[in-house]
Amino acid sequence: MRTVRAIWRLLRAVTHMLHGVVIVLLGGFGRWPAPRRQARIQWWAAKMLRMLGVRLVASGTPQPGPVLMVANHVSWLDIVALHAVCPQTRFVSKSELEHWPLIGTLVAAANTLFIQRERKRDAVRVLQQMAQALRSGDTLAVFPEGTTGPGDPLLPFHANLLQSAIEAQVPVQPVALRFSDARDAVSAAAAYVGDTSLVQSLWWVVNAEGLTAHARWLPALASGETDDRRALSDRLRQSIADTIAQRA
């Protein structure tokens, strides 16, 4: 029975993903006014979580843009969960994601900024784009761990991309992400780590019992009060780590 349910969830999720791709490629998504695009992104993300059998519990108050959101990184589900609450968010993601089948099309349509992490010079280009987007009033989001981790404990934070908020003098808001299930407060089913393939990760997610995505928006910090991105990074990491430790 559990396997049948997992297959049913997987089929519904793939169908919903294909529906999103059709809207992007054939439905004129890029020409829609911003409020309409954001409403559809939020609807799509929230429904994708339901199709996968993931419950979303969001708390705290997202800071209106311009703002740089900083979150810990557990899974590809992170972006879906954050978009289900803040559909206006533009993510900064690794360039490889742009070439993933189906997912790359959807991520690119959400105005994602792609960075080639193996090229140091590309970070300068992305920082300039981020600062300009923040000055224009956008909401951006980064995962300063640089890769997905188990969720608890956190991986070290890389401070480089925080420089964009310091230069644009906009607030930085930490977001604590945690996935739980029927057995564990920190679920292994959601962790997309190591040599795990996307197919494996999907199968673990749809098989999970009571998988819940917890997204907590914490008080924003004023980046304009400091020019030390390393100190800012440490404060953000500690705030997120403390929240996850409290299982909040």
pLDDT in tens, 37-46: 999 999 999 9
Question: Per-residue pLDDT tens for 199-221?
Answer: 899 999 999 999 999 999 999 99
All domains of the chain, ordered by start, with CATH?
A: 2-245 (3.40.1130)
Q: What gap in Å lies between CA 167 and CA 164, rounded to an integer?
A: 5
Question: Per-residue pLDDT tens for 54-83?
Answer: 999 999 999 998 999 999 999 999 999 999
Q: What gap in Å lies between CA 248 and CA 244, rounded to an integer?
A: 6
pLDDT at 245 exceeding the cut of 80: yes
pLDDT at 94 exceeding the cut of 90: no
Region 150-160: mean pLDDT is: 89
pLDDT at 227 exceeding the cut of 70: yes
User: Could you tell me what percent of the chain has a pLDDT over 90?
Assistant: 71
| Range list of β-strands (E), the chain | 55-59, 67-71, 89-94, 113-115, 139-142, 171-180, 212-217, 221-222
pLDDT at 117 exceeding the cut of 80: no
- Start-end of H helices in 66-111: 77-85, 103-109
pLDDT, residue 123, reads 78
pLDDT, residue 118, reads 65
Neighbours of 138 (CB within 10 A): 20
Question: Per-residue pLDDT tens for 102-111?
Answer: 888 898 899 9
Pick from 97-101, 107-111, 138-142, 202-206: least confident: 97-101
- Residue whose token pair is 């890389």: 158
pLDDT at 121 exceeding the cut of 80: no
Q: Kind and range of the H or E element at 157?
A: none
DSSP at 224:
G
> Whole-model pTM?
0.93
Measured over the CA atoms of residue 130, residue 131, residue 137 and residue 142, the dihedral's sign is: positive
pLDDT, residue 233, reads 93
Region 142-162: mean pLDDT is: 90
Pick from 1-15, 97-111, 116-130, 173-187: least confident: 116-130
